[in-house]
């Protein structure tokens, strides 16, 4: 609960200043950059994992889903192949991405001042 309250307080404090400083052009740039940053990496990870490292596609799907902190793709892959194999790659990728998101989010917040 403490982490949730911390994130909420930081968001409320930053939100008031952010809204007054964003114009339509900046908002569009932020949207496009966010879209690229959220769409391209999973495809790159999939291509590198599948072609370069020869990772089993089911395990790779779980790893990519874990790195994106979203269990839906792993659940659907497990249901599609009628196996729990996609869940093998999920936990480590989920934990590492959560830690990196927290650390880099803090640095982004510090650098934005």
Instruction: Give the chain as a 3 state SS string.
Output: CHHHHHHHHHHHHHHHHHHHHCCHHHHHHHHHHHHHHHHHHHHHHHHHHHHHCCCCHHHHHHHHHHHCCCCHHHHHHHHHHCCCHHHHCHHHHHHHHHHHHHHHHHHHHHHCC
- Report pLDDT for 9: 86
- Report pLDDT for 91: 93
C-alpha–C-alpha distance, residues 109 and 25, integer Å:
22
Q: State the pTM of this model.
A: 0.67
The rounded percent of the chain whose pLDDT value lies above 90 is: 44
Q: Give the tens place of pLDDT for each residue, 69-90.
A: 888 888 988 999 999 999 999 9
- Report pLDDT for 13: 81
- Report pLDDT for 24: 77
- Report pLDDT for 33: 93
- Taking 70 as the pLDDT cut, the residues of the chain under it are 19
Domain count, the chain: 1
For 51, the domain range is 2-111
- Report pLDDT for 82: 93
């Amino acid at each position: 609960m403490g982490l949730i309250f911390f994130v909420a307080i930081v968001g409320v404090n930053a939100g008031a200043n952010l809204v007054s400083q964003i114009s339509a052009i900046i908002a569009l740039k932020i949207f496009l950059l966010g879209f690229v940053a959220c769409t391209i990496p999973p495809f790159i990870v999939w291509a590198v994992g599948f072609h370069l490292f020869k990772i089993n596609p089911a395990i790779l799907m779980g790893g990519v889903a874990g790195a994106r902190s979203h269990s839906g793709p792993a659940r659907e892959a497990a249901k599609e192949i009628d196996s729990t194999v996609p869940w093998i790659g999920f936990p480590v990728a989920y934990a590492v991405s959560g830690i990196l998101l927290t650390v880099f989010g803090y640095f982004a917040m510090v650098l934005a001042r």
